[in-house]
Amino acid sequence: MIIDANGLNTRTVGRFGEDIAARYLEREGLSVVRRNYLKKWGEIDIIAMKGSEVCFFEVKSVTRPLVAVGSGDHRPEDNVHQEKARRIRRMIQTFFFEQGMGTEERFSFHVLCVYMDMSKRCARVKWIKDVVL
């Protein structure tokens, strides 16, 4: 188990981040229809609807403020690498198949980076829209 500087394990940080991300999306007018869609080969953190478009979200959370990120720092979105993208593509195909939907459905994939400042008990969300898989 990995513990961060605030004494939180990565699973707890991830859960907090996903909760914040889901509330953020609802404030942005999306309807969250599923969280933690899980199969043996991967997971989609949040599935939401915006009108008739299915939106898939990968949430990456860190316990440091957004303003503290320097040019040399690791960015949370860097963890959405080629192998992760391959698994997400497969998860999207599986979701459409299970829902009886075709892959011609309108959909998009996004990354939400949640920066949590635990000392101030606040968070900021950075939305990277329409990521190409």
Q: Which class for 85: exposed (0-12), middle (13-18), buried (19 or more C-beta within 10 A)?
A: middle
- What does pTM read for this prediction? 0.84
pLDDT of residue 102: 78
17-68 pLDDT, tens digit each: 999 999 999 999 999 999 999 999 999 999 999 999 999 999 998 887 655 5
Residue type present at position 82 = Q
Percent of the chain having pLDDT more than 90? Answer: 56
Structure tokens that stand for 80 in this block = 């959405």
The values of phi and psi at residue 8, to 5°, are -105, 140
Structure tokens that stand for 132 in this block = 């190409």
Structural domains of the chain in order of their starting residue, each with its CATH number: 10-128 (3.40.1350.10)
The values of phi and psi at residue 38, to 5°, are -120, 135
Structure tokens that stand for 29 in this block = 């007018």
Tell me the residue ranges of DSSP E strands in 10-50. 31-39, 42-50
If DSSP codes are grouped into helix, strand and coil, which group holds residue 68?
helix
Structure tokens that stand for 97 in this block = 């198949």
The values of phi and psi at residue 64, to 5°, are -150, 150
Four-residue CA torsion sign, 50, 56, 62, 67:
negative
Tallying the residues shown for the chain, one arrives at 133
